Amino acid sequence: MEKKSKIIAMPCDCRCCMFVVEKTIWEDGDISYSITIQDSRYDHNYNTLWGRVKRACKVLFGKPVYFNDVHMEGEETFKKLVNDMESLIESD
């Protein structure tokens, strides 16, 4: 099936990862969005036995488990991301 994709990417201020939104328009007219955080480094601390036990305990007690985050300093960076996402919605 044919598809047409557009992607926006906003790097983290420390350049450790990127917030990526991909819009895909399929030939049958369906539209899908994929939102990912792409990590550019591998943190070995999270894959130790202790790290896995801590995450399991957090899940068990209903606490949030964070695997990755994107840090953006200031209003302008976030506004640019929002504007890029709005233009992604409007584009075909």
Report pLDDT digits (tens) over 15-68: 778 889 999 998 998 889 988 888 765 555 566 788 778 878 888 898 877 666
Upper half-sphere CA count for residue 19 (Cβ side, 13 Å): 15
pLDDT confidence tier of residue 82, bands split at 50, 70 and 90 = very high
Q: What is the pTM of this model?
A: 0.64
pLDDT at 40: 65
Q: Which of 27, 18, 70, 29 is nearest to 7 (CA)?
A: 18
pLDDT at 23: 92
Please report, for residues 5, 9, 28, 45, 67, the alpha-carbon distance to residue 34 in angstroms, rounded to integers and kept in the order given.
Answer: 10, 12, 18, 27, 17
